[in-house]
Amino acid sequence: MIYRNKGPPVDMKLKFQINWLNYIRFWQANGESQKTSMRVKTRLHQLVEDGIYTGGCAPFGYRLVKSGVVNKRGKELPTLEIDPIEKEMVITIFEKTVKDGYGSYVMAQYVNDRKMLTHNGAKFQSNTIKRILQNPLYCGYYNRGGVTSKRVKELQIIDDAVFDEAQKILEQRKYTNEKKTQLARTAKSSTMLGGNIYCAHCGKKLCANSFVDRYTTKDGTTHDGGRRFRYLCSGKAMKRNECDGQSVYSAARVDEIVLDALHKCFDKIKATPKDAAIEKKYRTQISQIKLEIKRLNKETEILKRKLGELTEEIANSLMGDSKFTPDVLAMAIETTKTKIADNVQRVTEKQNQLNDKETDMSKIDYYYEEFVSWADEFDNAPAERQRMIICKLFREILVGRGYSVQILMDSSYEQFLR
Protein backbone atom coordinates (compact mmCIF):
# COMPACT_ATOMS: atom_id res chain seq x y z
CA MET A 1 0.00 0.00 0.00
CA ILE A 2 1.27 3.46 -0.89
CA TYR A 3 0.91 6.32 1.61
CA ARG A 4 1.26 9.87 0.43
CA ASN A 5 2.33 12.94 2.32
CA LYS A 6 3.94 16.24 1.45
CA GLY A 7 7.11 14.43 0.34
CA PRO A 8 7.66 11.71 -2.29
CA PRO A 9 5.73 8.41 -1.94
CA VAL A 10 7.16 5.83 0.54
CA ASP A 11 6.63 2.08 0.30
CA MET A 12 6.37 1.17 4.00
CA LYS A 13 6.62 -2.55 3.35
CA LEU A 14 9.86 -2.11 1.41
CA LYS A 15 11.25 0.19 4.13
CA PHE A 16 10.44 -2.43 6.79
CA GLN A 17 12.20 -5.15 4.77
CA ILE A 18 15.30 -2.99 4.32
CA ASN A 19 15.43 -2.17 8.04
CA TRP A 20 14.99 -5.83 8.94
CA LEU A 21 17.80 -6.91 6.59
CA ASN A 22 20.07 -4.22 8.04
CA TYR A 23 19.26 -5.45 11.55
CA ILE A 24 20.14 -9.07 10.59
CA ARG A 25 23.42 -7.95 8.98
CA PHE A 26 24.34 -5.92 12.06
CA TRP A 27 23.43 -8.80 14.38
CA GLN A 28 25.61 -11.20 12.37
CA ALA A 29 28.50 -8.71 12.23
CA ASN A 30 28.24 -8.03 15.98
CA GLY A 31 28.32 -11.76 16.73
CA GLU A 32 31.40 -12.26 14.54
CA SER A 33 33.07 -9.25 16.18
CA GLN A 34 32.53 -10.72 19.64
CA LYS A 35 33.90 -14.11 18.52
CA THR A 36 36.98 -12.41 17.04
CA SER A 37 37.47 -10.45 20.25
CA MET A 38 37.29 -13.65 22.30
CA ARG A 39 39.82 -15.40 20.04
CA VAL A 40 42.25 -12.46 20.28
CA LYS A 41 41.91 -12.26 24.07
CA THR A 42 42.40 -15.99 24.46
CA ARG A 43 45.51 -15.92 22.27
CA LEU A 44 46.95 -12.94 24.17
CA HIS A 45 46.34 -14.72 27.47
CA GLN A 46 48.14 -17.79 26.13
CA LEU A 47 51.12 -15.66 25.06
CA VAL A 48 51.26 -13.98 28.47
CA GLU A 49 51.12 -17.35 30.27
CA ASP A 50 54.06 -18.50 28.13
CA GLY A 51 56.08 -15.39 29.09
CA ILE A 52 56.00 -13.80 25.63
CA TYR A 53 55.91 -10.03 25.10
CA THR A 54 52.53 -9.00 23.62
CA GLY A 55 53.24 -5.41 22.61
CA GLY A 56 52.87 -1.93 24.02
CA CYS A 57 55.33 0.68 25.26
CA ALA A 58 58.35 -0.74 27.08
CA PRO A 59 58.13 -0.02 30.83
CA PHE A 60 60.82 2.12 32.44
CA GLY A 61 63.89 -0.06 33.03
CA TYR A 62 63.46 -2.01 29.80
CA ARG A 63 63.96 -1.44 26.08
CA LEU A 64 62.62 -3.07 22.92
CA VAL A 65 64.95 -5.27 20.87
CA LYS A 66 64.45 -7.65 17.95
CA SER A 67 63.52 -11.15 19.07
CA GLY A 68 64.47 -13.04 15.92
CA VAL A 69 60.91 -14.40 15.68
CA VAL A 70 59.05 -13.61 12.43
CA ASN A 71 55.24 -13.54 12.29
CA LYS A 72 52.98 -14.70 9.44
CA ARG A 73 53.32 -11.33 7.72
CA GLY A 74 57.11 -11.60 7.65
CA LYS A 75 57.62 -8.94 10.31
CA GLU A 76 60.21 -9.55 13.03
CA LEU A 77 58.61 -9.27 16.48
CA PRO A 78 60.18 -7.17 19.26
CA THR A 79 60.80 -8.31 22.81
CA LEU A 80 62.00 -6.72 26.05
CA GLU A 81 65.44 -6.62 27.61
CA ILE A 82 66.77 -4.79 30.66
CA ASP A 83 68.20 -1.31 30.11
CA PRO A 84 71.34 -1.24 32.32
CA ILE A 85 71.14 2.52 33.03
CA GLU A 86 67.44 2.62 33.85
CA LYS A 87 67.78 -0.61 35.83
CA GLU A 88 69.88 1.17 38.46
CA MET A 89 67.22 3.84 38.88
CA VAL A 90 64.47 1.20 39.25
CA ILE A 91 66.49 -0.46 42.02
CA THR A 92 66.97 2.94 43.67
CA ILE A 93 63.23 3.68 43.51
CA PHE A 94 62.41 0.43 45.32
CA GLU A 95 65.24 0.83 47.87
CA LYS A 96 64.34 4.43 48.72
CA THR A 97 60.69 3.42 49.12
CA VAL A 98 61.31 0.31 51.23
CA LYS A 99 64.35 1.37 53.25
CA ASP A 100 64.02 5.14 53.54
CA GLY A 101 60.23 5.43 53.34
CA TYR A 102 60.22 7.87 50.42
CA GLY A 103 56.72 8.70 49.17
CA SER A 104 55.85 8.68 45.48
CA TYR A 105 55.90 12.49 45.22
CA VAL A 106 59.35 12.82 46.85
CA MET A 107 60.63 9.92 44.76
CA ALA A 108 59.42 11.57 41.55
CA GLN A 109 61.33 14.75 42.50
CA TYR A 110 64.41 12.62 43.25
CA VAL A 111 64.33 11.06 39.75
CA ASN A 112 63.61 14.38 38.01
CA ASP A 113 66.58 16.01 39.78
CA ARG A 114 68.77 13.43 38.05
CA LYS A 115 67.46 14.49 34.64
CA MET A 116 65.80 11.19 33.78
CA LEU A 117 62.64 11.06 31.66
CA THR A 118 59.92 8.50 31.04
CA HIS A 119 59.79 6.68 27.70
CA ASN A 120 57.22 9.24 26.57
CA GLY A 121 59.74 12.02 27.11
CA ALA A 122 57.89 13.44 30.11
CA LYS A 123 58.98 14.16 33.66
CA PHE A 124 58.22 11.66 36.40
CA GLN A 125 54.99 12.18 38.35
CA SER A 126 53.87 10.51 41.58
CA ASN A 127 51.58 8.21 39.55
CA THR A 128 54.57 7.17 37.42
CA ILE A 129 56.39 6.03 40.55
CA LYS A 130 53.31 4.16 41.81
CA ARG A 131 52.97 2.29 38.50
CA ILE A 132 56.63 1.27 38.70
CA LEU A 133 56.23 0.04 42.29
CA GLN A 134 53.10 -1.96 41.39
CA ASN A 135 54.40 -3.54 38.16
CA PRO A 136 55.18 -7.27 38.67
CA LEU A 137 57.34 -7.20 35.52
CA TYR A 138 60.23 -5.99 37.69
CA CYS A 139 60.07 -9.40 39.41
CA GLY A 140 60.06 -11.10 35.99
CA TYR A 141 56.31 -11.65 35.57
CA TYR A 142 54.25 -10.46 32.62
CA ASN A 143 50.74 -9.47 33.67
CA ARG A 144 47.86 -8.65 31.34
CA GLY A 145 44.11 -8.92 31.68
CA GLY A 146 44.37 -10.66 35.04
CA VAL A 147 46.71 -13.33 33.64
CA THR A 148 50.24 -13.68 35.07
CA SER A 149 53.07 -15.47 33.30
CA LYS A 150 55.68 -17.78 34.71
CA ARG A 151 58.84 -15.97 35.81
CA VAL A 152 61.11 -14.72 33.03
CA LYS A 153 64.45 -14.62 34.86
CA GLU A 154 66.11 -12.48 32.19
CA LEU A 155 63.69 -9.63 33.02
CA GLN A 156 63.88 -9.75 36.84
CA ILE A 157 65.30 -6.60 38.42
CA ILE A 158 63.76 -6.63 41.91
CA ASP A 159 63.69 -9.43 44.50
CA ASP A 160 60.24 -10.78 45.39
CA ALA A 161 60.62 -9.87 49.08
CA VAL A 162 61.48 -6.24 48.27
CA PHE A 163 58.54 -6.02 45.86
CA ASP A 164 56.15 -7.40 48.51
CA GLU A 165 57.44 -4.86 51.06
CA ALA A 166 56.75 -2.06 48.56
CA GLN A 167 53.15 -3.30 48.14
CA LYS A 168 52.65 -3.28 51.93
CA ILE A 169 53.91 0.29 52.12
CA LEU A 170 51.62 1.45 49.30
CA GLU A 171 48.65 -0.27 50.94
CA GLN A 172 49.29 1.29 54.35
CA ARG A 173 49.69 4.76 52.88
CA LYS A 174 46.33 4.72 51.14
CA TYR A 175 44.04 7.38 52.56
CA THR A 176 41.13 4.93 52.24
CA ASN A 177 42.88 2.48 54.59
CA GLU A 178 41.11 2.74 57.96
CA LYS A 179 43.08 -0.05 59.67
CA LYS A 180 45.87 0.63 62.16
CA THR A 181 49.09 1.24 60.26
CA GLN A 182 52.76 0.85 61.10
CA LEU A 183 54.09 3.40 58.66
CA ALA A 184 53.79 7.17 58.53
CA ARG A 185 52.44 8.60 55.29
CA THR A 186 55.63 10.63 54.96
CA ALA A 187 59.23 9.91 55.95
CA LYS A 188 60.05 13.60 56.44
CA SER A 189 59.61 14.52 60.10
CA SER A 190 61.48 16.21 62.92
CA THR A 191 60.50 13.45 65.39
CA MET A 192 61.82 9.92 65.58
CA LEU A 193 58.43 8.20 65.74
CA GLY A 194 55.36 8.36 63.54
CA GLY A 195 52.75 6.11 61.98
CA ASN A 196 52.90 3.35 64.60
CA ILE A 197 52.58 5.34 67.86
CA TYR A 198 49.20 5.28 69.63
CA CYS A 199 47.56 6.39 72.88
CA ALA A 200 47.41 3.45 75.30
CA HIS A 201 44.12 4.74 76.77
CA CYS A 202 41.87 5.53 73.79
CA GLY A 203 43.80 3.89 70.95
CA LYS A 204 43.97 7.06 68.83
CA LYS A 205 47.14 7.90 66.95
CA LEU A 206 49.66 10.28 68.53
CA CYS A 207 50.55 13.16 66.24
CA ALA A 208 53.88 15.00 66.25
CA ASN A 209 53.84 18.70 67.07
CA SER A 210 56.34 21.40 67.99
CA PHE A 211 56.35 24.60 70.07
CA VAL A 212 58.80 27.32 71.08
CA ASP A 213 59.64 27.12 74.79
CA ARG A 214 59.67 30.86 75.56
CA TYR A 215 58.65 32.53 78.81
CA THR A 216 59.14 35.85 80.66
CA THR A 217 60.09 36.12 84.34
CA LYS A 218 58.91 38.80 86.81
CA ASP A 219 61.97 40.95 86.18
CA GLY A 220 60.97 41.24 82.53
CA THR A 221 63.65 38.90 81.19
CA THR A 222 62.58 36.70 78.27
CA HIS A 223 63.97 33.18 78.26
CA ASP A 224 64.07 31.25 75.00
CA GLY A 225 64.45 27.48 75.43
CA GLY A 226 64.33 26.81 71.71
CA ARG A 227 61.92 24.67 69.72
CA ARG A 228 60.70 21.49 71.40
CA PHE A 229 58.75 18.55 70.01
CA ARG A 230 55.88 16.60 71.51
CA TYR A 231 53.30 13.93 70.71
CA LEU A 232 49.62 14.83 71.03
CA CYS A 233 46.78 12.38 71.53
CA SER A 234 44.52 13.16 68.56
CA GLY A 235 41.53 11.92 70.53
CA LYS A 236 41.90 13.96 73.71
CA ALA A 237 43.76 17.07 72.52
CA MET A 238 41.26 17.61 69.70
CA LYS A 239 38.28 16.49 71.84
CA ARG A 240 37.26 13.75 69.45
CA ASN A 241 36.57 11.18 72.13
CA GLU A 242 36.83 10.44 75.85
CA CYS A 243 40.37 9.66 77.01
CA ASP A 244 41.81 9.44 80.54
CA GLY A 245 45.41 9.63 79.34
CA GLN A 246 47.65 12.66 78.89
CA SER A 247 46.99 15.14 76.11
CA VAL A 248 50.68 15.73 75.44
CA TYR A 249 53.88 13.66 75.78
CA SER A 250 57.43 14.97 75.47
CA ALA A 251 58.90 13.57 72.25
CA ALA A 252 62.40 13.47 73.77
CA ARG A 253 61.31 11.24 76.68
CA VAL A 254 59.25 8.87 74.52
CA ASP A 255 61.98 8.62 71.87
CA GLU A 256 64.57 7.82 74.56
CA ILE A 257 62.46 4.93 75.92
CA VAL A 258 61.81 3.51 72.43
CA LEU A 259 65.46 3.83 71.34
CA ASP A 260 66.58 2.04 74.51
CA ALA A 261 64.24 -0.88 73.71
CA LEU A 262 65.39 -0.81 70.08
CA HIS A 263 69.08 -1.13 70.98
CA LYS A 264 68.29 -4.02 73.32
CA CYS A 265 66.65 -5.81 70.36
CA PHE A 266 69.69 -5.10 68.21
CA ASP A 267 72.09 -6.41 70.87
CA LYS A 268 70.03 -9.57 71.14
CA ILE A 269 69.80 -10.23 67.39
CA LYS A 270 73.57 -9.78 67.00
CA ALA A 271 74.10 -12.57 69.55
CA THR A 272 71.37 -14.80 68.05
CA PRO A 273 72.24 -17.05 65.10
CA LYS A 274 69.46 -17.94 62.71
CA ASP A 275 67.77 -20.95 64.24
CA ALA A 276 66.87 -23.88 62.01
CA ALA A 277 64.10 -24.60 64.53
CA ILE A 278 62.15 -21.61 63.16
CA GLU A 279 61.98 -23.16 59.70
CA LYS A 280 61.12 -26.50 61.28
CA LYS A 281 58.29 -24.82 63.20
CA TYR A 282 56.89 -23.40 59.96
CA ARG A 283 57.07 -26.81 58.27
CA THR A 284 55.18 -28.38 61.20
CA GLN A 285 52.48 -25.70 61.05
CA ILE A 286 52.16 -26.10 57.28
CA SER A 287 51.79 -29.88 57.65
CA GLN A 288 49.08 -29.42 60.30
CA ILE A 289 47.14 -27.00 58.08
CA LYS A 290 47.38 -29.38 55.11
CA LEU A 291 46.07 -32.26 57.23
CA GLU A 292 43.17 -30.08 58.42
CA ILE A 293 42.32 -29.14 54.80
CA LYS A 294 42.41 -32.82 53.81
CA ARG A 295 40.13 -33.74 56.73
CA LEU A 296 37.62 -31.01 55.88
CA ASN A 297 37.55 -31.99 52.20
CA LYS A 298 36.94 -35.63 53.12
CA GLU A 299 34.17 -34.64 55.53
CA THR A 300 32.60 -32.44 52.83
CA GLU A 301 32.54 -35.34 50.35
CA ILE A 302 30.75 -37.54 52.93
CA LEU A 303 28.21 -34.78 53.57
CA LYS A 304 27.58 -34.36 49.84
CA ARG A 305 26.85 -38.09 49.47
CA LYS A 306 24.57 -37.89 52.49
CA LEU A 307 22.77 -34.92 50.92
CA GLY A 308 22.18 -36.91 47.76
CA GLU A 309 20.70 -39.82 49.73
CA LEU A 310 18.42 -37.49 51.70
CA THR A 311 17.22 -35.86 48.49
CA GLU A 312 16.35 -39.26 47.00
CA GLU A 313 14.52 -40.21 50.20
CA ILE A 314 12.17 -37.21 49.75
CA ALA A 315 10.45 -38.95 46.81
CA ASN A 316 9.93 -42.13 48.86
CA SER A 317 8.52 -40.06 51.72
CA LEU A 318 6.00 -38.35 49.44
CA MET A 319 4.88 -41.79 48.18
CA GLY A 320 4.51 -43.04 51.75
CA ASP A 321 7.34 -45.59 51.35
CA SER A 322 9.70 -43.96 53.89
CA LYS A 323 9.77 -44.04 57.65
CA PHE A 324 10.71 -40.32 57.63
CA THR A 325 8.25 -37.50 57.10
CA PRO A 326 8.99 -34.81 54.45
CA ASP A 327 9.41 -32.18 57.21
CA VAL A 328 12.08 -34.25 58.99
CA LEU A 329 13.92 -34.85 55.71
CA ALA A 330 13.72 -31.14 54.82
CA MET A 331 15.31 -30.21 58.17
CA ALA A 332 18.04 -32.83 57.70
CA ILE A 333 18.75 -31.56 54.17
CA GLU A 334 18.98 -27.94 55.38
CA THR A 335 21.33 -28.94 58.24
CA THR A 336 23.57 -30.88 55.84
CA LYS A 337 23.73 -27.96 53.39
CA THR A 338 24.73 -25.63 56.25
CA LYS A 339 27.53 -28.00 57.32
CA ILE A 340 28.80 -28.22 53.71
CA ALA A 341 28.83 -24.41 53.39
CA ASP A 342 30.68 -24.08 56.73
CA ASN A 343 33.27 -26.64 55.65
CA VAL A 344 33.83 -24.88 52.32
CA GLN A 345 34.37 -21.58 54.15
CA ARG A 346 36.78 -23.19 56.62
CA VAL A 347 38.75 -24.78 53.76
CA THR A 348 39.09 -21.33 52.14
CA GLU A 349 40.32 -19.83 55.42
CA LYS A 350 42.79 -22.68 55.95
CA GLN A 351 44.04 -22.33 52.38
CA ASN A 352 44.70 -18.62 52.99
CA GLN A 353 46.56 -19.52 56.21
CA LEU A 354 48.59 -22.08 54.29
CA ASN A 355 49.55 -19.53 51.62
CA ASP A 356 50.58 -17.01 54.30
CA LYS A 357 52.71 -19.58 56.16
CA GLU A 358 54.43 -20.74 52.96
CA THR A 359 55.15 -17.10 52.04
CA ASP A 360 56.54 -16.35 55.51
CA MET A 361 58.74 -19.45 55.46
CA SER A 362 60.19 -18.45 52.09
CA LYS A 363 61.14 -15.05 53.57
CA ILE A 364 62.88 -16.25 56.76
CA ASP A 365 66.34 -15.54 55.34
CA TYR A 366 65.27 -12.12 54.08
CA TYR A 367 63.80 -11.02 57.43
CA TYR A 368 66.78 -12.31 59.43
CA GLU A 369 69.39 -10.64 57.21
CA GLU A 370 67.40 -7.41 57.19
CA PHE A 371 67.16 -7.45 61.02
CA VAL A 372 70.91 -7.99 61.39
CA SER A 373 71.70 -5.26 58.84
CA TRP A 374 69.49 -2.82 60.77
CA ALA A 375 71.48 -3.54 63.94
CA ASP A 376 74.72 -2.70 62.11
CA GLU A 377 73.61 0.43 60.28
CA PHE A 378 71.03 2.09 62.53
CA ASP A 379 73.24 4.48 64.52
CA ASN A 380 74.91 5.85 61.38
CA ALA A 381 71.82 5.82 59.15
CA PRO A 382 70.03 9.01 58.04
CA ALA A 383 66.99 10.10 60.05
CA GLU A 384 64.55 8.90 57.35
CA ARG A 385 65.99 5.39 57.39
CA GLN A 386 66.04 5.26 61.22
CA ARG A 387 62.39 6.28 61.26
CA MET A 388 61.53 3.60 58.68
CA ILE A 389 63.41 0.88 60.61
CA ILE A 390 61.44 1.66 63.77
CA CYS A 391 58.15 1.62 61.85
CA LYS A 392 58.90 -1.78 60.30
CA LEU A 393 60.34 -3.40 63.43
CA PHE A 394 57.70 -2.20 65.90
CA ARG A 395 54.09 -2.90 64.93
CA GLU A 396 52.63 -0.64 67.64
CA ILE A 397 54.02 1.71 70.27
CA LEU A 398 51.44 2.42 72.99
CA VAL A 399 52.16 5.43 75.21
CA GLY A 400 50.20 5.90 78.44
CA ARG A 401 49.98 8.25 81.40
CA GLY A 402 53.24 8.66 83.28
CA TYR A 403 55.21 7.69 80.16
CA SER A 404 54.26 4.04 80.41
CA VAL A 405 55.35 2.66 77.03
CA GLN A 406 54.32 -0.73 75.65
CA ILE A 407 56.03 -1.89 72.44
CA LEU A 408 54.64 -4.61 70.17
CA MET A 409 57.12 -6.05 67.69
CA ASP A 410 56.25 -7.17 64.19
CA SER A 411 55.94 -10.96 64.28
CA SER A 412 58.18 -11.34 61.20
CA TYR A 413 61.15 -10.12 63.29
CA GLU A 414 60.03 -11.07 66.80
CA GLN A 415 60.32 -14.76 65.92
CA PHE A 416 64.15 -14.48 65.97
CA LEU A 417 64.22 -13.20 69.57
CA ARG A 418 61.98 -15.82 71.20
Domain ranges of the chain: 1-35, 62-68+79-172, 197-273+371-414, 300-366
276 class by beta-carbon count within 10 Å (0-12 exposed, 13-18 middle, 19+ buried): exposed
Please check the confidence at residue 88 and state whether its pLDDT lies above 90.
Answer: yes
pLDDT digits (tens, 9 = 90+) for 345-373: 999 999 988 888 887 777 788 888 889 99
Which of 418, 400, 392, 347 lies closest to 194, judged by CA? 392
Q: From CA 153, how far away is CA 379, in angstroms rounded?
A: 36
How many CB atoms are located within 10 Å of the residue 80 CB? 20
Higher pLDDT, 5 or 179: 179
Per-position DSSP letters for 198-237, written without gaps between them: EETTT-PBEEEEEEEEEEE-TTS-EEEEEEEEEEEETTTT
40 class by beta-carbon count within 10 Å (0-12 exposed, 13-18 middle, 19+ buried): exposed
H or E segment at 78?
strand 76-82
pLDDT of residue 356: 81
Evaluate whether 106 touches 185 at the Cβ level (below 8 Å). Answer: no
Pairing of strands 394-400, 197-199: parallel
pLDDT of residue 174: 76
- b/e per residue 192-203 (b: at least 16 CB within 10 A): bbbbbbbbbbbe
Higher pLDDT, 8 or 410: 410
pLDDT digits (tens, 9 = 90+) for 112-139: 999 999 999 999 999 999 999 999 999 9
Higher pLDDT, 416 or 88: 88
- C-alpha of 86 from chain center: 25
Taking domain 62-68+79-172, whether its CATH number is 3.40.640.10 is answered by no
pLDDT of residue 10: 55
pLDDT digits (tens, 9 = 90+) for 185-216: 666 677 888 878 899 998 888 888 888 877 78
Q: From CA 6, how far away is CA 89, in angstroms rounded?
A: 75
Please check the confidence at residue 7 and state whether its pLDDT lies above 60.
Answer: no
**DSSP 3-state of 79:** strand
- Mean pLDDT, the chain, rounded, equals 84
Task: Please give the C-alpha separations between residue 415 and each of 200, 275, 306, 374, 377, in angstroms, as whole numbers.
Answer: 24, 10, 45, 16, 21
Evaluate whether 101 touches 183 at the Cβ level (below 8 Å). Answer: yes
Angle in degrees, 0-180, between the axes of helices 84-99 and 160-172, rounded to the nearest 10: 50
pLDDT of residue 176: 60
Q: From CA 165, how far away is CA 133, in angstroms rounded?
A: 10
Whole-prediction pTM value?
Answer: 0.68
pLDDT digits (tens, 9 = 90+) for 26-45: 777 777 777 777 776 777 67
Please check the confidence at residue 150 and state whether its pLDDT lies above 80.
Answer: yes
Q: From CA 44, how far away is CA 317, in angstroms rounded?
A: 55
Evaluate whether 357 touches 289 at the Cβ level (below 8 Å). Answer: yes
Q: From CA 130, how far away is CA 119, in angstroms rounded?
A: 16
